[in-house]
Amino acid sequence: MAATTSPPPRRRPRSIAAVLAGALLLLSLGAANSSAQPRWHPGPPDHHGPRSWVGTWATAPTATPESSTPVLDDETIRQVVHTSVGGDRVRLRLTNEFGETPLRIGEVRVALRAGSSGTDIALRTDRRVTFGGKESVTVPAGAPMLSDPVRLRLPARSEVVVSIHLPERTPVTTLHGFSYQENAVASGNATGVTSVSATRTLTQWHFLSGVSVRARGKHTGAVVALGDSITDGAESTVGANNRWPDLLAERLRRTGVLNAGISGNRLLHDPNPPEGSDAESYAAFFGQSALGRFDRDVLAQPGAEHVIVLLGVNDLGHPGTSAPESETVTAEEIIGGHRQLIARAHAAGLRIYGGTILPFKGDTLGFYSEENEAKRRAVNEWIRNSADYDAVIDFAEVMRDPDDPLRLNPKYDSGDHLHPNDAGMQAMADAIPTRLFRPGHHRPR
């Protein structure tokens, strides 16, 4: 005998008043819950959403030579950085990544710079920076530290002043050795002072490696410039922001540009100064090899989508000068290093572009030889013709002397026949096609 079922009872339609009452109840519950939670949480980055976290400034940290480690003791270091893309929230990345002991920081503040030079701040923009809600923080040895988001409207391509108070005797074990920007040190806690009385000035960045912003726009990502002193800005005018990544940022409106150049950096080797050589006093500033630092300085950058690589000249020139002859490399070894960068970028979903090595015949650093020139040509031919990189940026072609292609063009030469001057930095930035950074232009293989 088949089972029988009775039809379900008909629901009475709800009145409009009842619907509104239910909606009001839900809204009130939401408001109650939100009062117990943070007012805003950044969440995971969404590069294609209306708001996303993206790097606007970066520098690559290095260790300090043991023989010349600076010390701060109840002092404030006030540092100026030049941003690329703008946003309505700011986040700092502090670094103790080469420190062997915890780093105690008393207070950190961030503000826009007042005027076009110096370290004075626009007081109305001055903001205290916290870490997990705390004003002071201890950064573990060997680690970075991200700040809480700071409510500060930051224009694109602006000057930001970061003031860090070190309340106790602090050896500066983690820094960027060549900032090409004049920063100031003042006694005591001067983080909130409009104009500090500097006890000394320096052209380094201490304990600071990144500034990111919560950006607006349909698509905001970042391009990381991975390179050596030419990318770092060597021989460009101090304080003028004429490094080629800065000048590229002037051409891009919705893309952050992050400078991961380190003077003296090599693709394949860490610093290894010959014992008893002058290089022992400065080689630590050259940083870990590009292969060793790629994850930290490229893949970990907020919003990173593109990489421009300009590396290899120090791999050719350092052995026999600031590194032992035993670290002499072949063109094939340099190419193998580039291929590793390409593979790792593609594995992370980034587009990566190869820059050809600039000519350096007659350089004053002792890099040039016919053997090194042959290696440079071989590496450049591979970059141009292998199709391994997603695109080629032919810096060498742009920067060569028309009358002697093995030399830098005299109008772009800083005088050492290796590093470009300000005009050369502009020519390099202009050589980079902006179409590379348009959404969907090219996907990694």
List of E strands, 199-267: 200-202, 205-206, 208-216, 221-227, 255-261
Distance CA 324, CA 265 (A): 15
Distance CA 267, CA 251 (A): 28
Asked if 82 contacts 164 with a C-beta cutoff of 8 angstroms, the reply is: no
Q: Which structure tokens are listed for 441?
A: 């232009």
Give the residue from 389, 54, 358 showing the smallest Cα distance to 224: 54
> Per-residue pLDDT for the chain (445 aa), expressed as one digit of tens each?
333 333 444 444 444 334 334 433 333 333 333 333 333 333 344 444 456 899 999 999 999 998 889 999 999 999 999 999 999 999 999 999 999 999 999 999 999 999 888 999 999 999 999 999 999 999 999 999 999 999 999 999 999 999 999 999 999 999 999 999 999 999 999 999 999 999 999 999 999 999 999 987 666 899 999 999 999 999 999 999 999 999 999 999 889 999 999 999 999 999 999 999 999 999 999 999 999 999 999 999 999 999 999 999 999 999 999 999 999 999 999 999 999 999 999 999 999 999 999 999 999 999 999 999 999 999 999 999 999 999 999 999 999 999 999 999 999 999 999 999 999 999 999 999 999 998 765 544 4
Q: Which amino acid is at 235?
A: E
Pairing of strands 351-355, 304-310: parallel
**Does domain 220-437 sit in CATH 3.30.465.10?**
no
At residue 276's C-alpha, the angle toward residues 274 and 279, to 5°, is 60
The pTM for the full model equals 0.87
Q: Which amino acid is at 27?
A: L
Q: Which structure tokens are listed for 325?
A: 């002859």
Beta bridge partners of 103: 139
- Residue-wise over 233-253: b if at least 16 C-beta within 10 A, else e? bbbbeebebbbbbbbbbeebe
